[in-house]
């Protein structure tokens, strides 16, 4: 009898403990899993075969649902010339001269500082047929910006500045500063009507006080060029200003033509992309 009572008491104590634990869990629920969209990804490329497109850390197929890309048609010997411009240090006029000489329509991804301090150069870019893309207002690490209001503000400030300068609307092309992004960034950009543009060809040209020689630049930019290449250059590079004419000539001699990135993106995607499935990042 005593043993039976003890067993009953033990069961009651156990039930009471389970009940209290359940209350505690409801009051202090376990944190939800971190969404995949919060994962930070730095854009990266691996060049494996000379003259062939590199392997990126997200495939074209994975990026497409978000209206994002890093290269054009790999079956076409076309190069898309793009420049990232954070500030002006005297090299842009020579770059524009070389582009004009070759009849190339480039895409300039501008930050707020450039728009605010160089309105005449912005007007010249637009007047000569170049596309002005959005490189954010303050050049932050966008992968850390998951709030829609803050994300929109970074892009809309530039849209407003460009409209004030030119009276026109900024192209719906967006390049994340330093290639830092996450899935949520891609989704928000596509819902704003933007195509996110990465790149498939670049070299280390952004250290203003440690510029590569022309030979070093050509050693990277010539063997790695490939059909559909989206070339990223920085307009602050004195090397780029001095070699661009010759670089474009060498690409032409190799049978390449130069494409209009804005037109390509418009043909490829048309309207803003819907929210996509999680990206199978590598």
Known catalytic residue at 84: yes
Element (DSSP H or E) covering residue 182: none
CB 52 within 8 A of CB 224: no
CB 252 within 8 A of CB 101: no
> If 0-12 CB within 10 Å is exposed, 13-18 middle and 19+ buried, where does residue 139 land?
middle
> If 0-12 CB within 10 Å is exposed, 13-18 middle and 19+ buried, where does residue 18 land?
exposed
Q: How many CA atoms lie within 13 A of 31 on its CB side?
A: 3
Q: Which tokens in the block code for residue 219?
A: 């050693």
Query: Which residue in 84, 130, 205, 260 is the catalytic one?
Result: 84
Cα–Cα distance for residue pair 282/279, rounded to 1 Å: 9
Query: Which residue in 67, 130, 135, 234 is the catalytic one?
Result: 234
Known catalytic residue at 245: no
Q: Which tokens in the block code for residue 240?
A: 């780029």
A 10 A CB-CB count for 29 gives: 8
A 10 A CB-CB count for 80 gives: 28
Element (DSSP H or E) covering residue 271: none
Element (DSSP H or E) covering residue 90: none
A 10 A CB-CB count for 104 gives: 22
User: Residue 33 gets which letter from DSSP?
Assistant: P
Active site residues: 84, 234
């Amino acid at each position: 009898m005593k043993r039976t009572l003890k067993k009953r008491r033990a069961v009651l104590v156990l039930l009471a403990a389970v009940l209290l634990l359940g209350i505690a869990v409801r009051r202090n629920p376990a944190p939800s899993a971190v969404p995949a969209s919060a994962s930070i990804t730095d854009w990266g490329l691996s060049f494996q075969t000379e003259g062939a497109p590199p392997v990126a850390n997200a495939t074209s197929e994975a990026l497409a649902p978000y209206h994002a890309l890093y290269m054009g048609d790999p079956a076409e010997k076309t190069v898309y010339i793009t420049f990232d411009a954070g500030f002006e240090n005297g090299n842009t006029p020579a770059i524009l001269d070389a582009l004009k000489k070759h009849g190339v329509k480039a895409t300039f991804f501008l930050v707020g500082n450039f728009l605010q301090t160089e309105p005449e150069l912005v007007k010249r870019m637009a007047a000569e047929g170049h596309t002005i893309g959005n490189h954010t207002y303050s050049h932050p690490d966008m992968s850390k910006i998951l709030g829609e209001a803050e994300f929109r503000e970074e892009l809309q400030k530039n849209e407003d500045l460009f409209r004030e300068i030119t009276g026109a609307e900024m192209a719906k092309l967006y390049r994340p500063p330093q290639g830092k992004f996450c899935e949520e960034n891609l989704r928000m950009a596509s819902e704003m009507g933007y195509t996110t543009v990465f790149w498939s060809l670049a070299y280390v040209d952004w250290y203003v006080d440690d510029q590569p020689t022309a030979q070093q630049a050509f050693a990277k930019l010539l063997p790695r060029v490939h059909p559909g290449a989206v070339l990223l250059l920085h307009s602050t590079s004195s090397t780029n200003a001095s070699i661009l004419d010759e670089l474009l000539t060498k690409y032409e001699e190799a049978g390449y033509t130069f494409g209009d990135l804005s037109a390509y993106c418009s043909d490829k995607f048309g309207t803003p992309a819907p929210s996509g499935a999680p990206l199978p990042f590598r």
